[in-house]
Amino acid sequence: MIECDVCVVGAGLAGLTAGVRAAESGLRVVVLERSADPEYLCNSRLTGGAFHVCLNDIQSNADVLEQVIRTATRGAAHAGLARAIAEDARRAVKWLQSQGIRFIKGGSEPHHNFVLSPPSLQRVGSDWRGRGGDVLLRTLGGALAKHGGQLLRGHRALELDIADGRCTGVKGNADGVPFEVRAQAVVIADGGFQCDADLVRENISPAPDKVLQRNARSGLGDGVRMARAAGARLSDLVGFYGHVMNRNAMTDDRLWPLPWMDNVATSAIVVNAQGGRFVDEGRGGVYIANRIAGLPDPLSAFVVFDQPLWEGPGTSRFLPPNPNMEKCGGAIFRADSLEALAGQLGIASQALAATVATYNEAIERDTLEALQPPRSPKAYRAMPIRTAPFYGVPVCAGMTYTMGGLAIDEWSRAMDAHGEPFLGLYAAGGSSGGLEGGENIGYVGGLSKAATTGLRAAEHIVKTRQAAHA
């Protein structure tokens, strides 16, 4: 039996932030990490490294950021949690800087003002080594040890100990050997449930194996399952953060995490195997990816566009699909007519031609919102599809992390079935829910969420303990 003040489940950014913050305040901390590998892969290690709040600069006024979160989630974000992120994302970055983590300005857009250094090359394979996320985890791991905390790799937490309605520790398995940790507080920070086929089938896609795991494959859903078994409240689990990817990425690692098709898809049309639109492309790439994942066959969607679109939005942003997608092995079909393109894609040619004609006419008449499904006109400019060659790209949904999880409040406290704090239980980062998601699949930011909720969990644990000993 291991005894400590704080037991953290998961050693990504959220877990190590919580662990180091608690340890530097004098608490005895044990961080459990499922993987035994000293270079254990997790989303924090693969990350692109941009700290932002809904793609806004984290230094913006807190009132502005709070409003931005409310707008992005169409009001679905827990109010206290939205305020916490708006107020503390910058403070969390400052705290990381105080631990020796370095940031750079990674580009001209506001969400690139704080990017982990050295910046990621955005490729899989060994390219994460020595990059921002890798350095982040090594630095925080060192800080944990310096403050007397323990990182136990190869320890997978599987069950919460509950006594008198309070969480008192966790049980798990270390290479086939059961272990038990007794703690005053437990912080679940296991990164989400994106790799749990049953939870994904229940909440996100009827066919989990047809959704691309655009992540480190370390989010196994243990946190959600442990919390559910213990009677903790879960948030809305239906949304995930992800992107529209070339379908060949399902089998070719050169095609993820970039390039993605979001910039093209949001100016073009996305059709199903029958040649009809099924999603409001104007609501953004994350939203489109979620709708593709929800199709009866998530591997049956295509982005259809023309030459000006390929030369315009197709070349915008970092590592754009034009020309990188084909270079990395992505399938892209071209034809001089829509009929010929439909033939290549294996979809009904008359239906595709009719869909394109209706869409072009709606742009001309400014009636995009009257289309079925409607096409929101404001956030992304819809471009007509008229000029050959015409293009069709078979796409899939790339899932980075699930947005839902344990329902938490502004201090990262888990909630019980009645919406009251579940004593002794906290959640942070990709394990937590209530901030992102909602009907709009509102994306706030995985790193800001992980650092802020981890920091706040630790600070609440410390405060509670000080109050108890006063």
Ligand X SMILES: Cc1cc2nc3c(=O)[nH]c(=O)nc-3n(C[C@H](O)[C@H](O)[C@H](O)COP(=O)(O)OP(=O)(O)OC[C@H]3O[C@@H](n4cnc5c(N)ncnc54)[C@H](O)[C@@H]3O)c2cc1C
Give whichever of 13 and 338 is closer to ligand X, judged by the CB atom.
13
Alpha-carbon distance 98 to 232, whole Å?
Answer: 34
CB of 16: closest distance to ligand X in angstroms?
8
Q: Of these, 7, 32, 183, 292, which contacts ligand X (CB under 6 A)? A: 32
Alpha-carbon distance 66 to 161, whole Å?
Answer: 36
Give whichever of 196 and 281 is closer to ligand X, judged by the CB atom.
196
CB of 331: closest distance to ligand X in angstroms?
22
Question: One-letter amino acid identity for 434?
Answer: G
Structural contact between residues 86 and 31, judged by C-beta atoms closer than 8 angstroms: no
Strand pairing class (2-9; 29-33): parallel
Give whichever of 384 and 433 is closer to ligand X, judged by the CB atom.
433
Alpha-carbon distance 4 to 169, whole Å?
Answer: 9
CB of 465: closest distance to ligand X in angstroms?
23
Does 435 engage in binding with ligand X (CB under 6 A)?
no
Cα 14 to Cα 77, 85, 384, 457: the distances in Å are 19, 13, 43, 10
Q: Tell me the Cα Rg of the chain.
A: 23
Q: Of these, 2, 28, 35, 104, which contacts ligand X (CB under 6 A)? A: 35
Closest CA to 133 of 146, 119, 145, 143: 119
Does 224 engage in binding with ligand X (CB under 6 A)?
no
Counting residues that bind ligand X (by CB under 6 A) gives: 40
Task: Please name the residues in contact with 110: beta carbons below 8 A apart, sequence gap of 6 or more.
Answer: 52, 55, 56, 57, 60
Give whichever of 115 and 309 is closer to ligand X, judged by the CB atom.
115
Task: Please name the residues in contact with 381: beta carbons below 8 A apart, sequence gap of 6 or more.
Answer: 267
With residue 8 as reference, give the H or E element that holds it.
strand 2-9
Does 219 engage in binding with ligand X (CB under 6 A)?
yes
- Where would I find the H helices in 43-177? 43-46, 62-72, 79-98, 132-146
CB of 405: closest distance to ligand X in angstroms?
9
Of 18-26, 187-195, 243-251, 328-336, which segment contacts ligand X by CB under 6 A?
Answer: 187-195
Which residues inside 146-165 make contact with ligand X, applying CB under 6 A? Answer: 156-157
Of 33-41, 68-76, 78-86, 200-208, which segment contacts ligand X by CB under 6 A?
Answer: 33-41
Structural contact between residues 187 and 411, judged by C-beta atoms closer than 8 angstroms: no
Of 41-49, 61-69, 281-289, 306-314, which segment contacts ligand X by CB under 6 A?
Answer: 41-49
Does 49 engage in binding with ligand X (CB under 6 A)?
yes
Does 393 engage in binding with ligand X (CB under 6 A)?
no
CB of 41: closest distance to ligand X in angstroms?
7
Of 20-28, 32-40, 299-307, 336-344, which segment contacts ligand X by CB under 6 A?
Answer: 32-40
CB of 269: closest distance to ligand X in angstroms?
27
Does 218 engage in binding with ligand X (CB under 6 A)?
yes
Print the binding letters for residues 445-464 with ligand X: x by CB under 6 A, - otherwise: xxx--x--------------
Does 283 engage in binding with ligand X (CB under 6 A)?
no
Q: Of these, 424, 430, 438, 442, which contacts ligand X (CB under 6 A)? A: 430
Does 191 engage in binding with ligand X (CB under 6 A)?
yes
CB of 369: closest distance to ligand X in angstroms?
31
Closest CA to 43 of 326, 451, 462: 451
Alpha-carbon distance 66 to 194, whole Å?
Answer: 27
Per-residue tokens: 138: 């090594």
Which residues inside 230-259 make contact with ligand X, applying CB under 6 A? Answer: 257
Q: Of these, 25, 43, 235, 246, which contacts ligand X (CB under 6 A)? A: 43
How many CB atoms lie under 10 A from the CB of residue 99? 18
Does 47 engage in binding with ligand X (CB under 6 A)?
yes
**Total number of residues shown for the chain:** 470
Question: One-letter amino acid identity for 283?
Answer: R
What is the per-residue burial (b if ≥16 Cβ within 10 Å, else e) of 158-177?
A: ebbbbeeeebbbbebeeeee
Does 56 engage in binding with ligand X (CB under 6 A)?
no
CB of 429: closest distance to ligand X in angstroms?
2
Q: Which residues bind ligand X (CB under 6 A)?
A: 9-15, 32-35, 40, 42-44, 46-50, 156-157, 189-191, 215-216, 218-220, 222, 257, 400-401, 429-430, 445-447, 450
